[in-house]
Amino acid sequence: MITKHQLTVDFPEFETKIHELKISDNHFKKLFDDYDTLDHEIYRIESNTEPASDDTLNTLRVERVHIKDEIYNYLNQK
């Protein structure tokens, strides 16, 4: 099943903090926006809305994981 990977679903314990940081922290907002853009692009490829090679899709997935890790670490530090 193809789904989007929303941060508030993946990190429900940080839902309030994610919302607050999106508003108050420019660095976090940029990370969040970058993650959301990548996730949307991956979703479009996986749902065959946008064509892409397997290599491109895998590269995007790896990049999404790196950003997600950075977000998780940031959330734990704040």
- pTM to 2 decimal places: 0.90
Hey, what are 8's tokens? 């508030």
- Distance, in Å, from the CA atom of 15 to the CA atom of 8, rounded to the nearest integer, reads 5
> Within a domain: residue 64?
yes
Below-70 pLDDT ranges, the chain:
none
| pLDDT tens for each residue of 65-77 | 999 999 999 999 9
> Within a domain: residue 1?
no
Percent over 70 (pLDDT), the chain: 100
Burial class (CB in 10 A: 0-12, 13-18, 19+), 61: middle
CB 40 within 8 Å of CB 4: yes
Count of domains observed in the chain: 1
Domain residues for 53? Answer: 7-77
Q: Which residue bears the tokens 């890790």?
A: 69
